[in-house]
Each structure stands twice: as C-alpha cells, then as structure tokens.
Chain A
Amino acid sequence: MDKTISGKTIQVNEEGYLTNFSEWDKDIALAISQEEHIEELGPKHWKIIEYLQDQFKQEIPLSIRKIGKSGVVDIEEFYALFPQGPLKKATKIAGIPKPASCI
C-alpha cells in the first residue's frame, strides 16, 4: 500500500514496513522514528541503522543476539535506544523487512 511520509509516497506493508528499500532515505527514517515514539536519532541510532541495512544487503538473518555480539551495540543499550521491541522498531526505521525471527 501507499504511504505518504515526509512529503514522499512510499510502498509499505500492512505493518508499516517499507517493501522497497530503495525508497528509503534519512528523512523517512526520522518520520518513522517519530511514529515509533523515538524522539531523536543520535549517532548511535544511525550506526545501528547502518549495520542493520548492511546485514540486510548481505542477506544475513537478523536477531537481537547477533546484534548484541556485533560489537556495534550491546543488548542492554539496544533496548535503551529502541525501547519495547528494539529489533522490530529499528528494522522499520531502517527501511528493511521485519525479521522473520520465525517460524
């Protein structure tokens, strides 16, 4: 479905995840983070977003455990930066699919 956000029309699924990563940009990330009640995206947020996008491009499945071991952020801080379901929020802001942490 179409969604208009920060002046652009993008494709999202029924849960609000971008279905076409090429439509993502930083303004969209900021707008989604507001919707997710994250007031500000600091340098650490962006570092995590970059890491998630990088993993997505390499088709590496994501999990909180893996992110905790990545050296980018520890699990506690990940929860502090993206409260209440950090992985599902961070992936939504990063414009990549919700991890199918399965099955």
Chain B
Amino acid sequence: MNWLDKLTENVSRNVAKTSSRRGFLGGLGAMIAGGSLIPLLPVARADAMKQPEPPTADPGDPATCDYWRNCAIDGYLCSCCGGSVNSCPPGTEMSAITWIGTCKNPGDGKDYIISYNDCCGKAPCGSCFCNRNEGDRPTYRPHTSNDYNWCIGTKSQAYHCTVNIILGVAIK
C-alpha cells in the first residue's frame, strides 16, 4: 500500500484520540510561551522524567504504522530494520536529541509521552515508512516537529530508522 494511502487511513482513525492529549500539549505550550524566546534544547529527556510502571498491556504490532506508539512518527520503523520498538538495529547509533509526541495506549487507556529517537549512521532502512502527525507542529517548534532529521550529536548524521520510547505518562 502506498504510504500516503496508509497515512490517510491512519489519520481518520486517530482523530478521535486527540482530546486528552491536547490538555498536556496546551500546558506545554504555555510553558514555552512563559519561557519566551529562550532556546529550547530537547536533550536526553529519558533521564529527566520518572519512569512509570510498565503498561499492563502494549497491544499491537510495532512493525505496523497502526501501532499506538507511532501516533507522531515520520520515518522508517526500526522494528522492520533489525531493531525493535525501543532499540536500534545493529551497527547504528541512537540519537539522544529527539522530538516527542503523546499517544494513547489502547491497552490501558493512558496517554504516554513518546520520544522518537532516530537511529543513525547507516543509509536509510527503506522498510515500513510511517507518517502520522498527531500533535506534530511546524518546524518553528522543533521539539514537537517530526520534519527534521533528528540524527543530531551522533557520529554520523545519516538517518536509518526511528524508535519510539516511552518516557512517562502524560500529566493532565
């Protein structure tokens, strides 16, 4: 199936999931506005947030675009490239600088903050392209923009694929 057909299918399916996430993003937007024009460096968020208990259920196949954690992804799914939902394929390097999304886990009904870390240092994987844009915003707000190549700070900036790592449960 063409990736854009897939995209259209996914968007219509996911429109209904957005209301609870907006609360979190609204708060985040206010925080940014309060910070005025101070540069925002979305670095190594994995260390900055308390890790929640593992979800009681993590339904779906991470190698498909429909998988819930993919709600704001734009790239190749590492699960199709020798990696997994949260690990990079062999021989690549995970970028610590990322954009984030907030996705609802249908397994427990909770909204999770997802860090989309790019895996870098090899030519593009080329399999399982997925583009979903819930909460994605234009490039002038980088930390929620999936349009950039986020292979930043890695030895090579060549983009290979993207993982989706749970950072925590979104606070409403």
B and A form one assembly: no
Task: List chain A positions with a Cβ less than 8 A from chain B.
Answer: none
Task: List chain B positions with a Cβ less than 8 A from chain A.
Answer: none
